[in-house]
Amino acid sequence: MPTLRALAVLVIFVFSTLLLVPLQYVSLRLKLKMRRAIPNKFNRYLCWLFGIRISVIGTPIQDRGVLMIANHTSYFDILILGATARVSFVAKSEVASWPFFGMMSRLQESIFVERARRSRAGVARDELRERLRDGDALALFPEGTSTDGNRVIAFKSALFGSVEAPLGTDACGHPLYVPVQPISISYVGIHGMPMGRENRPLYAWYGDMELLPHLWEALKAGPLDVVVEFHPPLSVDKTGGRKKIAALAEGIVRSGQRLALAGMRSAPVPAQHSETPAEAAL
């Protein structure tokens, strides 16, 4: 049954993607407003299709440019964040070549950064500033890698430089700084039951795990419960420079994940949920 479910999910996903990609491509080429709404709606659909049930705590900033800072556990983070907010991603350059997830990132106007080349950090920082100035919401995984989902590792502060300088001034002449919104993503349940440390690697993708085999096993594993907490925003003028705001955001995200994994930050999730297309097909 898990294998049949995974096959049904993949077939439905392929047909759905074939319908969406041309529409989003045209929206991007023509700079239509719908280019930001389409990925958000499609990611919601994919989370439903894959059986990812998301409990959201707090509110994402969507009315101005914002740098969203999240911990990184899995490729599913892209779907989860994309489903809960209209957002583009700041990703390492290798992501662009990943099957499916690279395509999804490009369709969401992601920025790809060559982290191995320090000389490119300034270029990436300037690109981030321009996008933030244009009012985009950008999501950054500052750990620089994915983890086992049981902890948050140290945040790298290089790209926080994009929010150090004000983007302008308000009507009263006060400097305007880009808000930095910490986000905790916590993988807390499987089949509606609390997820222990031993089960989290079914969805957490890290180390030398191969992408496609891991994705196949994750689809076979079944429904996943995730808690996403949007914390109150920070600003560099109140916290200090990029290193200080990175350290503060790291502590907030770590605390949010710790509480969620302990079952102390879970928003209500319905005991029964409607069938996904894959479940209905079976």
- Tens digits of pLDDT across the chain (282 residues): 789 989 999 899 889 988 988 999 999 989 898 998 999 999 999 999 999 999 999 999 999 999 999 999 999 999 999 999 999 999 888 888 877 777 778 888 999 887 666 656 677 888 899 999 999 999 999 998 999 999 999 999 988 989 988 888 777 888 889 999 999 999 999 998 999 998 999 999 999 899 889 999 999 998 999 999 999 999 998 898 899 999 999 999 999 999 999 998 755 444 334 444 444 444
With the C-alpha atoms ordered 9, 107, 131, 126, is the resulting torsion angle positive or negative? Answer: positive
Q: Residue 142 belongs to a domain with what CATH number? A: 3.40.1130
Q: State pTM to two decimals.
A: 0.88
For the chain, the domain total comes to 1
Q: CA-CA distance, 108 to 137, in Å (whole number)?
A: 11
Q: CA-CA distance, 161 to 128, in Å (whole number)?
A: 9
Which residue is listed with tokens 């926080």? 160
Q: Which domain holds residue 196?
A: 2-281
Q: CA-CA distance, 128 to 131, in Å (whole number)?
A: 5
